[in-house]
Structure 1
Amino acid sequence: MKRIFEVNPWTITSHELQPADKRLQESMTSLGNEYMGMRGMFEETYSGDSLQGVYIGGVWFPDKTRVGWWKIGYPEYFGKAINALNFVKAIIQIDGVTVDLATVPYTDFEVSLDMQAGVLHRQFTVNGVQVQVDRFISVATKELADLRWSFTAIDGQTHDVQLTALIDGDVVNEDSNYDEKFWDVLDAEVTNDTAFLMTRTVPNPFGVPQFTVAARQRFVSDLPAIDVVQEDKQVGNVFAGQVGAATQRIEKRVIVTTSRDYADDTAVKHATDTIFASIASATYDDLYDAHVAGWAARWEKADVQITGDEAAQQGIRFNLFQLFATYYGNDARLNIGPKGFTGEKYGGATYWDTEAFAIPVYLGVTDPAVVKSLLQYRYQQLPGAYHNAQQQDLAGALFPMVTFDGIESHNEWEITFEEIHRNSTIAYAIYNYTHLTGDRSWLENEGSEVLVGIARFWADRVHYSARNDAYMIHGVTGPNEYENNINNNYYTNWMAKWVL
């Protein structure tokens, strides 16, 4: 089997750009800080196959369900974390030629995700100019994304270099059920050294709140600003100058704010300026070092060290890195999407996998407060779980297979209505937290309400068979998901009994 990435304990690195593997490269080099994240797509123009993806934690859209035929009880929509405004987009021109690695000759290619520092590094050389790009999403200032381009002529010549740094609101989701776009632009402005774009999700008929997302960019640049871009859904700033043997750098700082944290759009916009003011005196090294220190604190607690097998060492660190990039317990309104910030599959939603598989890991490698936030997430959505049970004319609480707000939004019948073993997994997570930490305070307060709701569901879902003198649960799909509409699945029955 061909190896795409080199084996290294701390990095995901390749020195080859393989167009057929471009999407995999983007997924494997994704970044995030729980608040937001993005795929490892190129900033500059790339005309080959690519999946652009910038995602904001907790920002989603109820995409109207699309099925061949409708069944009673189907959720009206499938919630998905939608591709947000692209604030890393750029156009690079060297001696008047637009850099597009799908079409122009290049050498010295490298893409490398530094998992220890949480930084994505790329480099390539086009027409005698070496271009280096460093990108990180800060774990010290959650709203901050920082990009730095470095240009160096390595052929002894002087070259004209132009960088257009953009914020683009004209984005799409490949998995849109009806090929719709989910964003409207509310506000745009641009000056010589800054640009601002505010977007809002389009109206929906399901009562789901609309979300506002805004981004402002500012620069620290060795090259002068020469122009601006202001179009219907795109704004940007243009920098240009001559580059020789002395490296010329352009640092772009982006602050992203959302209506999840502020009362109205005015406050969302004002927050971008307030946060910029808080880092105005910081150098690139200051921001970089604060970010790296945050990751160092995580690794000090979490690093799993494997000797004698570098591939296994790389693999375990990659898994932990992507988990922590997706979720680290700072916001109890968020959860762990199955693919994190690496793409659109599974819609970035909450699944039962969090309680079954992720919480045991977090209990081992993070502070208990991280897991407590995940439990609190389910408590906050307890009303939605009661609603889901009522949809099936059952008592108690049925936690959803797929959700953003507690309401079930999965529309495969055999999973939505039959794979109900998921409900017991919430109780299992509460048990694990209480048993392994010794902290009974959450169990004896919010946790008890959750457990009672789950138990009431099971008490109503079972039925008594006089012929067998036993309680049974008919019409379920077990956790392997391959045998549908069966009676008395062992796992489902055993876990229901354990919960009761």
Structure 2
Amino acid sequence: MHTKYKDDELWLINENGWARRLQNIRESQFTLGNGYLSSRGILEEMPYNSRPGTYIAGIYDKISAQVDELVNLPNPVNFKFSIEGQKLDMFTMDVLENKRTLNLKKGMLLRRTMYRDRRKRKYDYQSLRFMSMENKHIGVMQVVLTALDQDCAIEVETGIDTSVSNVANFSEGRKRHFRIRELGQEHKAGYLVAETSGKKYILAYWSGFYYKVRRKNVFARDNVFRINLKKNKSIIFTKIFCIKHFPYKEKHNIYKAQTFKIFQDAFRTDFNSLVDKHCLAWEKLWKKADIVIEGTADLQRNLRFNIYHMLICAQNDEGFSSAGARTLSGEGYRGHIFWDADIFLLPFYIFKFPSIAKSMLLYRYRRLEESRKLAKKEGYKGAKFAWESATTGEEETPEWARDIDGTVTKVSTHKMEHHITADIAYAVYKYYVVSGNEAFMERYGYELIFEAARFWASRVEYNKKNKKYEINHIIGPDEFHVDVNNNAFTNMMAKWNILIAHKLFFKIKNRRAIFSKFKNRLGFCDKEAKVWKKIAANLKINTNKNNVIEQFDGYFKLRKIGITKTDENGIPLIPLKLKPKDIAKTQLIKQADVLMLIYLLNDVFSAKTKRANYDFYVGRTVHKSSLSPAIYAILGCETEDFNRAYNLFNVALRADISNLYGNTHEGIHAASLGCTWQVVVFGFAGVSVRKEKLFINPKGMPWTWGKLSFSFTWKKSTIILELSRDEMKVKIISVNKQPVELGIYDRLRHLKSGRSYTFKRKGSRDRKEYFYY
């Protein structure tokens, strides 16, 4: 019935058969969404242990919880059949055949299940559903049921399921973050109005349902009804729903009416037309977002899976929301915003969808005032951003969490993992360099970077003994080592933040109108900027005689542990004899730390320093975070450790499609999504920004890859790349038709808009292809 919505296998993620243990994992993987609204890929009948999840970006609630949580909203994907008293269900009937397909190209989930009941009668069940990318408040479902052996009477139950709740965690039970205000039926449809428990938002739902009999649509008046089904005849059931949020008000009738208008327009539209508009919207997205790798079916499919999830987890809503650490596909980390959004996801949007990148940065700016309060509360100046953020920008990190061995441990990240403030400033500046959006900087960016620099200037301590500024009692990206002094990543990112603020201060000083705005409102002066430069020049960074940067004070003196074993994916294993509480006494690190620094500040370090640090830390990192393998893969490309680079790239690529970290059921790992894109673009293709100029210096490709092609934006131009083993083709499409300055194999050139250029790969005849599989 729905075969016409299938595509080439390179666009399809298939589930063949039925495995109970994979149910919640598939729900995360098969999430449907559009950046505003998402729905986990549950089975429509919601069998035992199903975890339905319906989320709106930015809708959190704190009532009955320790911290703000992404609200699991009433579930509109609710469709149940009973046939003569037996539920049509994976657990109650025999499943003779089951196949579900996530069509990445069209953003829809297809299903076909063959059931057999206790009387040995068979039923063919098919479904299709999607969250409209054309109208982001609309969801569409269609179910086709066929009785294969004899006539039968079926009972249908649909409507909106209000029994859902947020999942429990080890310190709190299940909880419902909404209250029903009103529900009923009007205009051949059902409606529901709810409010979040903290009375911050109103949620308005409309849902309509009809089925076809003798080619005529019959509108269901009730959520539960009976219908007769003839042998070998099919009934097509169609459900369309609309969900919209509003700021809280005591009277909600106007919200209900506004939502009904959106719903009515969709409900009156032909089903095929709704599908076509949705597919057209997806086609436009993929035209910008796709990366084509010829010759590698699994890799191509998995890469598109990762890009798909980035396309459905963020939107341009002027800073109302940002992307959570587990996207909008689950409640891992309670839907909170971490540095994952700013460092790992944001580059994809900066180079592909600048308006979404801008919105994600506006999310940070709109919480700048709360960040100032956080800094003041802790005795600092400027702005200190929360480690975990949600609605307001207040600190939302829970006090307790489980360690890697399952034990409960007290959380210190919100008290010490301060590098996030520099990370956000870095993200703002990165967006500025790539987009050239001066207006954004004048309204938002300069202020955020200045306030972040002020925080660091007040956070440092002067050590009279060594005449250095230090940052003590800190946690770097490597969370195995807590409460350390002078973490190199933190100190260098703070130094970068201060120096950029100093540079921008004097850049705008001669622009009187802009400078006066900051001087009057924030109280800036030349003296403060000069102090910044002094601090940056004397901030402590430790290195040894081999150019290896010490991760923090005393790291080199810790016990050396050799990594001798890896798991089946090539990830290093922590020695069994080493207890979790003793890891901090060793040089084993959880994830990229010093190498994370070298990656972000790539043009600061020499090739010799990069190689020395890569060689030193690669054998000490156990990659217990999904964001780590890809960073090592990128640096592996740069240091020509290609075999390891490709292996780690595959680990990052399969983090969720293969559930490598064992927790995909909690949601898709956002950082890993962004990292895999960065490996392809910044690693293999060699795209980089150095000294604020764009360079392309391909590192070569695996021999299994035929061609690699993609596009991205730079300033107001689109760069189209096609890479093969021996050459690179570049085409520039510029809005103003002006030439674009571009570094090709380290040589700056001015390429004209509209023309295609071909460059032979540097050293392609002599370079030995000794890597990749």
Q: State whether TM-score is above 0.5.
A: yes
Amino acid at match of 1:468: N
Pairing 1:29-428 to 2, within 5 Å after superposition? 29-47=30-48, 49-62=49-62, 77-126=66-115, 127-155=121-149, 157-175=150-168, 177-190=172-185, 193-203=188-198, 209-223=199-213, 224=218, 228=222, 236-238=223-225, 240-260=227-247, 264-364=251-351, 366-404=352-390, 405-412=392-399, 413-428=411-426
Q: Provide the aligned C-alpha RMSD in A.
A: 2.1
Asked if structure 2 preserves the Cα contact closer than 8 Å seen for 1:81 and 1:344, the reply is yes
**Which residue in the other structure is 2:768 paired with?**
none
Give the residue type in structure 2 aligned to 1:134.
L
Matched letter for residue 325 of structure 2: P
State the SS of the aligned residue for 1:327: coil
3-state secondary structure, aligned to 1:151 = strand
Report the alpha carbon displacement of residue 225 of structure 1 after superposing the two structures with TM.
5.7
Question: Counterparts of 2:13 and 2:173 in 1: how far apart (Å)?
Answer: 36
Structure 1 226/378 Cα, relative in aligned 2: closer, same or farther at 3 Å? closer
Whichever structure has more helix as a proportion of its residues is 2
With CA pairs under 8 Å and 6+ residues apart, which has the higher RCO, 1 or 2? 1
Unaligned runs of 5+ in 2: 1-7, 116-120, 400-410, 499-773
Q: Alpha-carbon deviation of 1:178?
A: 4.7
Question: Does the 8 A contact of 2:138 with 2:266 survive in 1?
Answer: no
The question of whether the paired residues in 2 share the 8 Å contact of 1:225 and 1:240 is answered with: no
Query: 1:408-460 CA distances to partner (integer Å, 9 max, x unpaired)?
Result: 11134420010001111111111211111222221232111111110110010
- Counterparts of 1:293 and 1:416, CA distance in 2: 43
8 Å CA contact retained: 1:225, 1:237: no
Alpha-carbon distance in structure 1 between the residues aligned to 2:474 and 2:186 = 60
Check conservation: 2:208, 2:267, Cα contact below 8 A.
no
- 2:489 alignment counterpart: 491
Please tell me the residue identity of whatever aligns with 2:23. Answer: K
- Per-residue deviation, 1:335: 0.6
Quick check: 1:262–1:268 contact (8 Å CA) kept in 2?
no
Any stretches of 5+ residues in structure 1 without a counterpart? 1-6, 66-76, 204-208, 229-235
Q: Does the CA contact (< 8 Å) of 1:222 and 1:248 recur in 2?
A: yes
In 1, are the aligned partners of 2:37 and 2:57 still within 8 Å (CA)? yes
Amino acid in structure 2 at the alignment position of 1:41: I
Per the TM alignment, residue 369 of structure 1 is displaced from its structure 2 partner at its CA by: 1.5
TM-score (norm 1): 0.89
* Contact 1:128/1:153, CA 8 A, preserved across alignment: yes
Tell me which moved more, 239-248 or 30-39.
239-248
Can you list the C-alpha shifts for 1:148-175, whole angstroms capped at 9, x where unaligned?
Answer: 11122344x3333332112122221123
* Separation in structure 2 between the aligned mates of residue 436 and residue 372 of structure 1, nearest angstrom: 12
Tell me what 2:431 maps to: 433
> Residue in 2 aligned with 1:26?
27
Structure 1 distance, partners of 2:356, 2:189, is 36
- Mapped to 2, the partners of 1:263 and 1:308 lie a distance apart of 59
Between 219-228 and 464-473, report the one with greater CA deviation. 219-228
Deviation at 1:468, TM superposition (A): 0.6
Give CA-to-partner distance per residue, 1:41-76, whole Å, 9 cap, x none: 1111412x22121112221111566xxxxxxxxxxx
Q: Does 1:469 align with 2:467?
A: yes
Alpha-carbon offset, residue 191 of structure 1: 5.5
AA partner of residue 370 (structure 2): G
Q: State the distance in 2 between where 1:317 and 1:263 align.
A: 44
Q: 1:330 Cα shift?
A: 4.2
**Which of the pair has more CA radius of gyration?**
2
Structure 1 residue 407, shift from structure 2 partner: 1.1
Alpha-carbon distance in 1 for matches of 2:236, 2:248: 33
TM-score scaled to structure 2, two decimals?
Answer: 0.58
Which residue identity is paired with 2:54?
V
CA 1:94–1:193 in structure 2 vs 1: closer, same or farther (change >3 Å)? farther
Q: How far apart are the structure 1 equivalents of 2:418 and 2:382?
A: 13
Alpha-carbon distance in 1 for matches of 2:211, 2:382: 59
Contact 2:181–2:195, Cα closer than 8 Å, also in 1: yes
SS at match of 2:91: coil
**1:178 and 1:210, CA in 2 relative to 1: closer, same or farther beyond 3 A?**
farther
Cα distance in structure 2, aligned partners of 1:487 and 1:293: 53
User: In 2, distance between residues paired with 1:343 and 1:88?
Assistant: 16
Does 261-270 or 83-92 show the bigger shift? 261-270
Structure-2 change in CA distance of 1:113 and 1:312 (3 Å): same
**Structure 1 letter corresponding to 2:465:** R
Contact 2:205–2:241 (Cα < 8 Å) also in 1: yes
- Aligned AA for 1:238? F
CA distance in 1, matches of 2:111, 2:128: 7
Partners of 1:161 and 1:322 in 2: CA distance: 37
Q: 1:218 Cα shift?
A: 0.8
Equivalent pairs, count: 468
Taking only the aligned residue pairs, the percentage that are identical comes to 26
